[in-house]
Each structure stands twice: as C-alpha cells, then as structure tokens.
Amino acid sequence: MSTPTVIGLDLGTTGARAVLADASGATLAVHEAPYELHTPRPGWAEQSPADWERAAFEALSAVASRARRAGDVRAIGLTGQMHGLTLLDRAQQPLRDAILWCDLRTGPQRRELEDAIGVRTLVRYTGNLPLEGFQAPKLVWIRRHEPRLLERTAHMLLPKDFIRLRLSGECCTDVSDASGTGYFDSATRCWSDQMIEMLAIDQAWLPEVRESPEMAGTLTPTAAERLGLRPGIPIAAGAGDQPAGAVAAGIVAEGDAAVTIGSSGVVFAAASRYGAAADGRVQVGAHALPQRWYLMGVTQAAGLSLRWLRDTFMPGISYEQIVPEATDSPPGSRGLLWMPYLQGERTPHLDADARGALVGLTTAHRRADIVRAVLEGVAFSLRDAAQAIQGVGALVERFTLAGGGARSPLWRQIVADVFDAPMQIEPEGRGPAYGAALLGAVASGVFASVEEAIRNTAAARATVAPSTGGGVALNAAYARYRDVYPALAEVSRASAAAQASETGDA
C-alpha cells in the first residue's frame, strides 16, 4: 500500500519553499526557489506575481518529483507572506506588481482611515487598526495615485491566493490571512460589510473565505501537467505564514505562544475566545483552525536587522561567521543598545516613523559588541511584543522558538534570557510550509482535525533554559532599552520627515 504524502508551499518574502511530507511527519523533500524584492523608492516593497508563479511551480515540481508515485500526493496546502495587495483584471492577469506587507508608503492613508473612521470603530469592525502593511490603506493609496487601475480591477487577492488561482482556477482565501486585510471581521470570521462599504470595495473583487483546513479548490489538468501530478488533488484553504507556522509548531491551545525570528519577528499566542485590544496595538485574527483565534505582536526588522548589518558593514561574510563573534561581548553588549526600527515598528508602538539607532556607542566598542547588541535589541523588541499581548489578557505559559534565528545557539540563549523563560526549539524544517502541508492533510482526510495532525506528527524538541548571569545583565539593559523609544521619538519623526522630503513623498 502506498504511503500518503502531502505538499506544503510557503510563498515567502524572499522566495517560495515547498516541502513534501508523509503522514508520520517525516519531511521527504524540500525545494526553495528565490525571487527579487523590488524597492522602487525608499520604504516601498513590491514583487512581481509572475515571479511568484515561476518560483512556486519550480518548488512544487521539484518536491512532487520526489514522491514515490504521483498518485501518492493527497493534497497541497498553501501559506505565504500576509497582507500583500495583488490586483487582477478580468482575464486574471496582474495589473501591477504586488505591494507587500513591509511597504511603508501608506502612512498618510493609515492616518486618514483612523481619523475618518475612528480607532475604536475600526477595532470594533475588524479587531485591528489598518496598519501600513494591510490591504486597506494600500487600496486607499491606489485610489489616490493609480485610480485607473481600479477601473480595470476584477479580483483583489492575497499573495498565496494568487498561486491558488494558478493551481485551481479558484479565487478563494482563508480566515487567518483575510484577518490581515483591514476589512475582515475576525470575531465573526467573515468580511466586514461596514468596512467594505466605507472603503467603496466592490464585493465582486473579494475572494470567498473558508476555514484553513477546508478544501478550497482542486488541481486543474493544466497545472497538474506542469507539476507532474494528477488532476483533482485537493488544495487546502491554507493560512497566512504566521498562523501556518504556529500550526507547524503546535501552537493551537490557549497558553501556547511562538516566538519567531525571520525577516520580521513575531510573538504569536493562541486563544480559545476572541478578544481585541481597544487601541489596536496587538493584532488579532482568526486562527488556522475553527473556533480558535490568535493574538500577534510584530517586530518589523528582526532578522532584517542582522541582514542590514551584514550587507552594510560585512559584505561577503556569512551569518554563520558573524553571529559567533558576539560571544566575545558580554551580556548587555558593554552598554550598547540596538533599536531595531529599520522599517518603523508595529508592536507596541504602531509607529511607521520610528527609526533604528545604535545608542551608547564609544571608541571602546568593537564589532562583536555591535553584533551582540543587534541580537539583544531584536530580543528586547520581541519581549515588548509579548508583554503587549499579555497586557490585553492573553494567557501565555509556554514558548516555542522558531524561524531562522532559532538555529543560532547564541540567539536562542539570548531570547531565553531576555524573556526569563524556557524556550522549546522548533525542529528544523517545521516552518510555515510544513504547517500548510498539515492543513492539506486535514483537507484531504488524511487526518480528521488539525489537533490530530499535530499529535500524529509530533517530534522531539530541545529546550533552552534561561541562564542566571545573563538574565540579570539583560534585564538591566532592557530597562534602558525601554527608555530609548520615547526619548528619540521626536528626533525619529523629524528624520522620517526629512527622508520623505528627499524622496518626494512628503
């Protein structure tokens, strides 16, 4: 008897990643296909949907070829970067490059929505404020700067759902990804009629919404031929990358939280009941399984801080060489602090004008101190996010550390020390694509529920405990870190205004 396998695809910020997994939880194949991120102006971030399609089909084809038989593949699950705006015409062709989650051009539009509708009303209708990265302020920006595109718009999709369209011909999304648009009611798990009316959105533009482990399309004969698979394979509704990553990490019960260090940093807590922060400083959404929600805090530039440091000052040196240098600096980085606000900041400040800073620099500091300060500053920002989540009443008792940063023994220890809590380490390879594969397994009937899928594919985990000495020094450094944002807020706003003036965006 053949062994059922499932494929998960993660349409990330830097590339598409596909995994082939079996019902025991074993990963049988992985393939990554990169694509470019375009920054036509400072603070802008766009990608070509055609690049997504090319990379997605490359990655899917590569792992599909590793299945023992094409008929063994029971389902495909989709996940990807959240919030991106992809506009299509009636022929289902992109009208422009997609505007991504990390694009900051829509600060004025965000403020316009908050002023016109009101913070409390926005939170009541959706659970969230329309952050710069969300689709809602991007749509307002398009209406103001590229209005003719809306005359030709027939579909408005999130990134992963563009790939679904190419695989199945269906315009559909899931509740978790829709929660990050700015016009989805996370409490009732459906589009917000009030927000759709206020934003003048044509209902026909919006995809159908389904629960994450439900089937949302099947593989067309054309797509099946491109992938070397059989037509009719179920495609799960899937989830945004953070909810899918939480499924992979087993973060589905109240009390569980994931701390993820990728390009951005995320603290993601599962909840058994809906509850939004009145001021919108913590993002809330429908989780990737029915009758569950999530609370999420985001650091815009987590791994991105380390990437910026490397690309700017250490080009050609690998992360594996850079990070160990920080062991030559003691906890607290000899008084040096890094504010990781290279892309503004979301949690807890909701401030697109926040700017990065190295504070306390002297001639006595060496490269090791700067590297360690960056690692610590990211951990401090994640602690800010965790405290914001706990501040709205969320129960957080157990942490799982995930993402690329979790592969660094030093960064693991720094996070455990800063949080003063044990960190379970997610097994390598079990990121969002793996979570999408589990959702596909549920959609196709391999498992009866997401909880059953997690139980049957569980793997052993290492645990990193906080160290006594490091924690004392880092607690003192964190107290100073908390003072820096308000102290520099006015200077940051002036810097942001000057930068906007220089690029013509003022």
CATH of residue 347's domain is: 3.30.420.40
Cβ 481 vs Cβ 443: under 8 Å: no
Assess if residue 419 is contained within a domain: no
> What is the reported pLDDT for 506?
52
CA pair distance 292, 275, nearest whole angstrom: 11
Estimate the crossing angle of helix 107-117 against helix 135-145, to 10 degrees. Answer: 110
Same domain, 107 and 190: yes
Confirm whether 311 is a catalytic residue. no
Reading phi first (left if > 0) and then psi (alpha if -120 to 50, else beta), residue 185 is in beta
Rounded distance, CA 450 to CA 293, Å?
A: 14
Percent of the chain exceeding pLDDT 90 equals: 86
Do 215 and 168 contact (CB within 8 A), yes or no? no
Q: What are the structure tokens assigned to 25, written together?
A: 């939880």
Please say whether the beta carbons of 38 and 50 come within 8 A.
no
Residue 345 domain-assigned (yes or no): yes
151-165, 266-280, 303-317: lowest mean pLDDT where? Answer: 266-280
Residue 146: CA atoms inside 13 Å, Cβ hemisphere, count?
13
Q: What's the pLDDT band for 2 if we cut at 50, 70, 90?
A: low
Asked, for residue 405, whether it belongs to a domain, the answer is no
297 closest CA partner among 379, 387, 375: 387
Residues 207 and 337 in one domain: no
* 487 and 437 within one domain: no
Same domain, 142 and 188: yes
Q: Are residues 437 and 489 in the same domain?
A: no
What's the pLDDT band for 70 if we cut at 50, 70, 90?
low
pLDDT at res. 471: 85
Q: Tell me: do 437 and 498 sit in the same domain.
A: no
Q: What is the pLDDT of residues 175-209, one digit of tens each?
A: 999 999 999 999 999 999 999 999 999 999 999 99
Residue with tokens 């693991």: 412
How confident is the model at residue 504, as a pLDDT? 62
* Torsion sign across C-alpha atoms 9, 103, 111, 495: positive
* pLDDT band at residue 216 using 50, 70 and 90 as cut-offs: very high
Q: For helices 241-248 and 432-443, what crossing angle results, to 10°? A: 80
Distances from the Cα of 371 to the Cα of 149, 331, 364, angstroms: 44, 12, 14
Model pLDDT, residue 501 = 80
Query: Is residue 66 domain-shared with residue 198, that is, in the same domain?
Result: yes
User: Is position 125 within any domain?
Assistant: yes
Tens of pLDDT, residue by residue over 464-473, are 999 988 889 9
Whether 78 and 141 share a structural domain: yes
Q: Tell me what the pLDDT averaged over the chain comes to.
A: 94
- Count: domains in the chain: 2
225 and 311, same structural domain? no
For the segment 88-112, the average pLDDT, to the nearest whole number, is 95
Q: Do 335 and 479 share a structural domain?
A: yes
In a domain, 461, yes or no: no
The pTM (predicted TM-score) of the whole model is: 0.90
Q: Please name the amino acid found at residue 294.
A: Y
Residue 278 counted as domain residue:
no
Query: What residues make up the domain containing 164?
Result: 5-245+433-441+449-454
Among 22, 174, 241, 384, the one annotated catalytic: 241
Map tokens 């940051």 to a residue: 492
pLDDT of residue 505: 59
| Mean pLDDT score, 75-94 | 98
Q: Which burial class, exposed, middle or buried, applies to 324 when counting CB atoms under 10 A from its CB (0-12, 13-18, 19+)?
A: middle
Question: What pLDDT digit, counting tens, does each position of 370-397 carry?
Answer: 999 999 999 999 999 999 999 888 889 9
Both 166 and 234 in one domain: the answer is: yes
Q: What's the confidence (pLDDT) of residue 276?
A: 85
Report whether pLDDT(1) > 60. no
Whether 371 is in a domain gets the answer yes
What is the pLDDT confidence band of residue 450, given thresholds at 50, 70 and 90?
very high
271 is a domain residue = no
Whether residue 366 is predicted with pLDDT greater than 90 in this model: the reply is yes
Residues 437 and 496 both lie in one domain: no
